[in-house]
Amino acid sequence: MPHVLTRSLDRSATVFLLVVAAVGVLIPLSNLLLPEGSLFQVPTYLMSLFGKYVCYAILALSIDLIWGYCGILSLGHGAFFALGGYAMGMYLMRQIGSRGVYGNPILPDFMVFLNYPKLPWYWYGFDMLWFAALMVLLVPGLLAFCFGWLAFRSRVTGVYLSIITQAMTYALLLAFFRNDFGFGGNNGLTDFKDILGFNVQAESTRAALFALSCLALIVGFLLCRAVVTSKLGKVLIAIRDAESRTRFLGYRVESYKLFVFTLSACMAGVAGALYVPQVGIINPGEFAPGNSIEAVIWVAVGGRGTLIGAALGAVVVNYAKTVFTSGPLAPYWLFMLGALFILVTLLLPKGIVGTFNAWWEPWKAQRLSANAESAAREDGVSEPKMAE
Amino acid sequence: MLTNVLRNFRALPFAILLIVATALPVLAGPFEDAVSKFANDEFSDTEEAVGAIATSGNPLAYPIISALQDGRLMADPETKKVYVTQTDGKIIDAATGTPVASIPDSAAAVRLNNRLRRTVEAALGGLTLLSPDPAKRIQAAQSVFKTHDETMLPVIDGALQKETNKGAKLAFSEARAAILLFKADATDAEKLEAIATIKARGDQEALALLTGLTGDQPPAIAHAAANATSAIQSNLALWSMVQNAWYGLSLGSVLLLAAIGLAITFGVMGVINMAHGEMVMIGAYVTFVVQEVIRTSYPGLFDYSLLMAVPLAFIVAGAIGILIERTIIRFLYGRPLETLLATWGLSLVLQQAVRTMFGPTNREVGNPSWMSGAFELGQITITYNRLWILCFTMAVFAILLAMLRYTSLGLEMRAVTQNRRMAASMGIATSRVDALTFGLGSGIAGIAGVALSQIDNVSPNLGQSYIIDSFMVVVFGGVGNLWGTLVGAFTLGIANKFLEPVAGAVLGKIAILVLIILFIQKRPRGLFALKGRAVEA
Three-state SS for chain A is: CHHHHHHHCCHHHHHHHHHHHHHHHHHHHHHHHCCCCCCCCCCHHHHHHHHHHHHHHHHHHHHHHHHHHHCCCCCCHHHHHHHHHHHHHHHHHHHHHHHCCCCCCCCCHHHHHCCCCCCCHHHCCCCCHHHHHHHHHHHHHHHHHHHHHHHHHCCCCHHHHHHHHHHHHHHHHHHHHCHHHCCCHHHCEECCCEECCEECCCHHHHHHHHHHHHHHHHHHHHHHHHHHHCHHHHHHHHHHHCHHHHHHCCCCHHHHHHHHHHHHHHHHHHHHHHHHHHHCEECHHHHCHHHHHHHHHHHHHHCCCCHHHHHHHHHHHHHHHHHHHHCCCHHHHHHHHHHHHHHHHHHCCCHHHHHHHHHHHHHHHHHHHHCCCCCCCCCCCCCCCCCC
Specify if A373 maps to a domain.
no
Q: Is residue A321 domain-resident?
A: yes
Q: Is the pLDDT of residue B16 over 90?
A: no
Binning pLDDT at 50, 70 and 90, where does residue A382 land? very low
**Mean pLDDT score of chain B:** 81
- Reported as a pLDDT band with limits 50, 70 and 90, residue B4 is low
What's the half-sphere exposure (Cβ side, CA atoms, 13 Å) at A28?
Answer: 20
Instruction: Quote the domain boundaries for residue A175.
Output: 2-368
Interface A–B counts its CB contacts (< 8 A) at 135
Amino acid at B394: M
Average pLDDT over residues B396-411: 91
Give the count of beta carbons closer than 10 Å to the beta carbon of residue A120: 13
The per-residue pLDDT for range B33-89, each reduced to its tens digit, is 778 788 877 888 888 888 777 766 677 777 788 788 888 888 887 777 888 887 777
Query: Would you state the pLDDT for residue A2?
Result: 63
Does ipTM top 0.90? no
Whether residue A346 and residue B328 make contact (CB cut-off 8 A), yes or no, is yes
Nearest neighbour of B356 by CB, restricted to A297, A331, A344: A331
Question: A388 in contact with B at a CB cutoff of 8 Å?
Answer: yes
Q: What is the pLDDT of residue B531?
A: 59
Residues of B in contact with A165 (CB under 8 A): none
A185 touches chain B (CB under 8 A): no
Is A255 among the domain residues?
Answer: yes
Q: How many domains does chain A contain in total?
A: 1
Residue A206: inside a domain: yes
Query: For chain B, what is the radius of gyration of the CA atoms?
Result: 34
Contact check, Cβ <8 Å, B475/A160: yes
Q: In this structure, is residue A388 part of a structural domain?
A: no
pLDDT of A265 over the 50 cut? yes
| Strand residues in B308-438 grouped as ranges (E) | 374-377, 380-383
Question: What pLDDT is attached to residue B537?
Answer: 37
Interface of A with B in 234-263 (CB under 8 A): 242-245
Strand order in the sheet with B81-85: B99-100, B91-93, B81-85, B73-76, B108-109
Say yes or no for a CB contact (<8 Å) between A296 and B341: yes
Instruction: Give domain status of residue A386, yes or no.
Output: no
Q: What is the pLDDT of residues A275-296, one digit of tens each?
A: 999 999 999 999 999 899 999 9
Summarised one tens digit per residue, pLDDT across range B463-490 is 888 888 888 888 888 776 788 889 999 9
Q: Hey, is the C-beta of B492 within 8 angstroms of any chain A C-beta?
A: no
DSSP string, B304-326: GHHHHHHHHHHHHHHHHHHHHHH
Contact assignment for A338 to B345 by CB distance below 8 Å: yes
CB–CB of A169/A75 below 8 Å? yes
d(CA B110, CA B73): 6
Q: Which residue of B has its CA nearest to A242?
A: B537
Q: Is residue A375 part of a domain?
A: no
- The half-sphere exposure of A325 on its side-chain side, counting CA atoms within 13 A, is 8
Asked if the structure places residue A383 within a domain, the reply is: no
d(C-alpha B471, C-alpha B475), whole Å: 6
pLDDT at B391 over 80: yes
CA end-to-end distance (rounded Å), chain A: 35
Q: What's the mean pLDDT in B194-219? A: 79
Lowest mean pLDDT among A317-321, A365-369, B271-275, B381-385: A365-369
At A355 the pLDDT is 87
On whether the CB atoms of residues A215 and A24 are closer than 8 A, the answer is: yes
CB contact under 8 A, B524 and A154: yes
> Of B510, B521, B514, B519, which is closest to residue A150 (Cα–Cα)?
B521
DSSP symbol at B507? H
Highest mean pLDDT pick, A51-60, A117-126, B221-230: A51-60
